Structure 1
């Protein structure tokens, strides 16, 4: 039976249609359904089918989940999503229960593809496929161990850690990174070991003792790379310097921030270009600039952060996750410097680019909260964004 509450599916379609500056007839012309049906769905008199919702989402260039009630049920959905991942992480010390149905080469390619989906912010899709991939890789690594298989398994564990952290499960992310270390040791891959220490450090967000622990973890990653001279090792070392700059910014150490940003920039010049092929780090001069802006935000140097943000031009090839993160950071800088319209604009852009990532990013909540407090009259768009993140 159709829902007549204030946030039924039709109301969400109407809201997104207006945001796209379309009339009902204008939207109806873009979908293979009648104006009459669209009108009835929007007023709550008819229930929208999955095909109808997909057509509307495609026409409006938005994620279909924006139109469904799924986001209101995130707690249960997210728990159901991560439970299979949690179970797959417990397979590491068990005898294989079966044989992998894919070859080592196929599994390595699949691990890379799932990682790419996370970078494109397709978190739920990646999360659904990841447990089976980890199970197959674990079985193959134990029964027929090769460096390639262990490397792919380590990469899949890293992907599990990234998904868990982005969806708000830091404890599960820690478990996944422990498994990553185990697989990296079997692969005898010091670069994967160093990345694991870097990722462990990122989980800690607080000041004081936790920041000190983060620094120790990243410095341990530097030690893991001693004697390594490859381009891959150089890019990883540069990324570790960026991690140290972020930790230094949290505790207000401006000199350390400058030192590590400078070191990373020197390494980026030697690496040349954006080293996107190096374990999905995308290390390069542009990445250094993004971290420099992030450090300015952490240091509460908002005017400086905004100046830096306005100089950064992201090409179309930029990973969706990186673009959305930049838009949220820029929104925070705009909000803190009184540019409220620009801040809201960048938040909306970030939501369109990566709804899942943007919704759970702490900067999104901070920016929206600030905008709500600053507004004399809250515009509809801001009201919708505030409701979306639960402010």
Structure 2
């Protein structure tokens, strides 16, 4: 693993090309100076939201800050699938036999389970054809089909952002919003805003993302007192607000959002609402991520140690827990503990582990902290698709 391939090294390189000091870049990106220096030195592993802030300040696409590792067959295969899925909304194939929403719903539910389980290859096998069927069903049956189509487009969004295609992720999010509005369900629209805010944050538009969160919270918070589904959706918006505010260095705003998310799901089980994992455990995961981005390793590790993942907790969320725990260990200067956490992340969701830019950044930061790469670290690098 070459040091000049790390996210931090690339940030430093582009910063110098732009003629900026570290302090000037930190100010322009509204991130902490000490955090930027730690990332550049390889002592901290950044989140995708944080990298988006830096890329925006540098005036470049965030993909330029991630390492260009050896080509992965899986990565190459997924691009035409996403493009095919998002190709058009009004050019239905007349040769396709129409199906009812009730007949299509089991496949949509299965794709949602695969998405939460990080089974991306399975999604790719059926997604384009399913979207074709749902577009026809929407034309024939209206709102119920568009609700299902929203969830199908969410799978496309997941494929796009997991594999680093931010432009296609934005397209998928807009397709989701179009379908959600046609579903006639304001809570489904709000749930899409939760995802759109993340897409905006990943391209450096964190302030716009926070405005979207605040506006959507105001739109639905009146429903939350009497509607458990509305309360669950509202909790996800506060979770997202908490993590994005952390990348903007707004510690109080971040913690207030996350405290409100925790209050809203108090007494609720960990479950899935409108295709999104909600509940107390998921709030804790967002708190860990936020504290790492705020530079508070001790707080993040305290939350991680108090978090007990349910046996049936979604694999995708499980791997996020372990990656962010690894990031906290790196921030605390403990690469050996980071390796153990990354091992757990790989075990939880191998496909996510190989695709994730955050994982690659964490593995490289671990390599920068270890004076001599251990066998465990080399194993992780191979699993993440990183060449020596």
1:133 aligned onto 2:120: no
Select which of 134, 140, 149 maps to 2:145. Answer: 149
Select which of 81, 89, 93 maps to 1:92. Answer: 89
Q: Distance in 1 between matches of 2:97 and 2:193?
A: 29
Q: Distance in 2 between matches of 1:248 and 1:109?
A: 37
1:120 aligned onto 2:113: no
* Structure 1 pair 87–337 and aligned structure 2 pair: CA distance change class (3 A): same
Select which of 169, 172, 189 maps to 2:168. Answer: 172
* Structure 1 pair 139–289 and aligned structure 2 pair: CA distance change class (3 A): same
| TM-score between both structures, scaled by the size of structure 1 | 0.76
**Count of residue pairs the alignment pairs up:** 316
Query: SS of 2:141's equivalent?
Result: coil
Q: Distance in 1 between matches of 2:87 and 2:220?
A: 29
CA contact (8 A) 2:166 2:199 kept: yes
CA contact (8 A) 1:101 1:136 kept: yes
Task: Report deviation, 1:193.
Answer: 0.8
CA contact (8 A) 2:213 2:237 kept: yes
Q: Distance in 1 between matches of 2:364 and 2:201?
A: 20
RMSD over aligned CA atoms reads 2.1
Task: Report deviation, 1:384.
Answer: 3.0
Residue in structure 2 matched with residue 362 of structure 1 by the alignment: 357
Residue in structure 2 matched with residue 43 of structure 1 by the alignment: none
Structure 2 unaligned regions, length at least 5: 1-68
Q: Distance in 1 between matches of 2:186 and 2:235?
A: 15
* Structure 1 pair 118–206 and aligned structure 2 pair: CA distance change class (3 A): closer
* Structure 1 pair 77–334 and aligned structure 2 pair: CA distance change class (3 A): closer
CA contact (8 A) 1:141 1:150 kept: yes
1:277 aligned onto 2:262: no
State which structure, 1 or 2, has the greater radius of gyration over its C-alpha atoms: 1
Residue in structure 1 matched with residue 303 of structure 2 by the alignment: 308
Residue in structure 2 matched with residue 376 of structure 1 by the alignment: 371
Residue in structure 1 matched with residue 186 of structure 2 by the alignment: 190
Q: Distance in 2 between matches of 1:310 and 1:328?
A: 14
| TM-score between both structures, scaled by the size of structure 2 | 0.76
Residue in structure 1 matched with residue 213 of structure 2 by the alignment: 218
Task: Report deviation, 1:72.
Answer: 5.4
Task: Report deviation, 1:77.
Answer: 4.1
Deviations 1:204-252 (A, max 9, x none): 3469x71111112222322442653421111101110111111110011
Deviations 1:16-55 (A, max 9, x none): xxxxxxxxxxxxxxxxxxxxxxxxxxxxxxxxxxxxxxxx
Residue in structure 2 matched with residue 253 of structure 1 by the alignment: 250
Query: SS of 1:94's equivalent?
Result: coil
* Structure 1 pair 332–201 and aligned structure 2 pair: CA distance change class (3 A): same
* Structure 1 pair 323–243 and aligned structure 2 pair: CA distance change class (3 A): same
Q: Distance in 1 between matches of 2:359 and 2:330?
A: 11
CA contact (8 A) 1:358 1:364 kept: yes
